Amino acid sequence: MKTNGARFLESLGIPFELREYEVDPNDLSALTVAKKIAMPPEQVFKTLLVTAGPNIYRFAVIPGDAELDFKKLARASGLRKLEMAPLKDVQPLTGYIRGGVTLFGAKKPYPVYIDETVVLFDQISVSAGARGTQLILSPTDYLRAAQALEVEVQTADIVKDASPGAPGPSPLGTWEGKPTNSEGHKK
């Protein structure tokens, strides 16, 4: 299925792959999407809309296995306090529904903050702008496309650190029991 996100990348001459999967409306988690498209969750980035108050919105793009740290994002964006935009506002503001939000082709481009881990991989996955369709592309091309939106684009540490004593991602990571290198490739 051709989406606004795919059309936007095509208009920039950016190579990508569209990967479709069956949607379970009761489970739109990035972890489930990662399993369905056969990619490690840390390479499947989710796009969140956050707000600092009326008419102040930002996109936060984080790995599927991570949780947004609002304090870190507020520091990176120079705002005092951020929170998730109300779900009822997401579609009117972006043109996309939960589980299908992407930067590309949104009704209005908002400043973008992308977790710094994006550069660790050869390929990442982001929503194509519709539930059930992901864009697979290089992080370099993703950043270039984000910058083409002519808004502030920053990479920063914007995810919560693992709790002390809690198992966190290892530097080598694992995917379906198979060790991966820092780029997420199976060894």
Mean pLDDT of the chain: 88
**Which domains are present in the chain?**
4-179 (3.90.960.10)
How much is the pLDDT for 186?
40
pLDDT tens-place string over residues 30-68 = 999 999 999 999 999 999 999 999 999 999 999 999 999
Q: What's the pLDDT tens digit per position in 160-171? A: 997 554 444 433
Question: DSSP for 65-104?
Answer: T--B-HHHHHHHHT-S--EEPPHHHHHHHHS--TT---ST
Instruction: DSSP letter for 172, please.
Output: S
And the tokens for 168? Answer: 């966190």
The arithmetic mean of pLDDT across residues 3-12, rounded, is 95
Rounded to two decimals, the pTM is 0.85
The two tokens of residue 12 are 């920039």
